[in-house]
Amino acid sequence: MNATMENEAILLEDRPTPHVARVRLNRPHVLNALNLDLRRALAHAFERLDADPRVRVIVLAGSERAFCAGADLGEYANADPVEIVGRGMDRLWGAIAHCRKPVIAAVRGHALGGGCELAMHADLIVAGAGATFGQPEVRLGLMPGGGATQRLTRAIGKFQAMRLLLTGESIAADQALAMGLASEVVEDTQVEARALEIAVAIAKGPRLALQFVKEAVLESMNAPLELGLQFERKSFQILFASSDAREGVRARMERRPPAFE
């Protein structure tokens, strides 16, 4: 399907392959810096795709030079606290964070500041060998505001997160992979192809089980272990009401590929 425009800030391909949507940041002239138009377009796209039953997996991509180089500083130069609060960033980030469908970030080039935070909103990160990650906000006299102090710490641990957050240093893709900030690293030219390959494989799986797995993993980040285990058990039990669960068990017993609905 041909790409369509979403407020000119992003390109959206509803289904480049069956049940997969690709959302592309479309401000390459400024390394896909996040301005309000882009943030709002992303929120709108994710809300729409989350509600679309035809879409099972979302691939989030940037451009060749940058996945996203961070916030558009022109919108912050003269901003005051009241104006920043009025922008409602929590709602814009929340549209991505609360998406029920698996999200794969295809990262080439820079993923810095808000761009690194955007990648961390995904469930998998496929990075190009030339990609760089970092949270340089402290070098501007600021701190992250899109979740990095929480998500980065959960992804790579306190001591590595503190190093990146307090120094503002960037790391290469191989370092990100070793730390746990990326799912895998491939050649830069293969990033989106690999992300789509994974998306297609996931999209063939049982829709409800995929949703429940994502919910349970995210719950583990916000709840004590015992509550997370209870959430997992309840979700596991509910899945036995689904036709996909019955089909999956029968297919394994009959030694054939499952035909999930």
Going residue by residue through the chain (261 aa), what tens digit of pLDDT does each one get?
Answer: 446 655 578 888 766 778 999 999 999 999 999 999 999 999 999 999 999 999 999 999 999 999 999 988 887 778 888 888 888 788 899 999 999 999 999 999 999 999 999 999 999 999 999 999 999 999 999 999 999 999 999 999 999 999 999 999 999 999 999 999 999 999 999 999 999 999 999 999 999 999 999 999 999 988 888 888 898 888 988 888 899 988 888 888 898 899 888
Q: Residue 50 sits in a domain of what CATH number?
A: 3.90.226.10
User: Domain range spanning residue 131?
Assistant: 4-203
Structure tokens at 207: 């829709």
Pair (188, 249) in one structural domain = no
Q: Considering only CA atoms, which of 57, 69, 16, 62 is closest in space to residue 42?
A: 62
Task: Identify whether 114 is a catalytic site residue.
Answer: yes
Q: Which of 61, 66, 106, 117 is catalytic?
A: 117
Structure tokens at 79: 């901003």
Place of tokens 């794969």: 104
Q: Which of 66, 71, 131, 245 is catalytic?
A: 71
Task: Identify whether 51 is a catalytic site residue.
Answer: no
In a domain, 61, yes or no: yes
Pair (187, 224) in one structural domain = no
- Count the residues in the chain: 261
Q: Which of 62, 114, 146, 147 is catalytic?
A: 114
Pair (133, 21) in one structural domain = yes
Pair (108, 92) in one structural domain = yes
Pair (155, 224) in one structural domain = no
In a domain, 261, yes or no: no
pTM over 0.75: yes
Q: Which of 134, 137, 173, 248 is catalytic?
A: 137
Task: Identify whether 137 is a catalytic site residue.
Answer: yes
Total domain count, the chain: 2
Pair (190, 221) in one structural domain = no
Pair (244, 199) in one structural domain = no
Going from the C-alpha of 8 to that of each of 27, 37, 42, 112, the distances in angstroms are 9, 9, 11, 22
Task: Identify whether 71 is a catalytic site residue.
Answer: yes
Pair (76, 119) in one structural domain = yes
Pair (112, 198) in one structural domain = yes
Pair (72, 112) in one structural domain = yes
Pair (113, 227) in one structural domain = no
Strand-pairing partners, residue 17, are 20
Pair (108, 218) in one structural domain = no
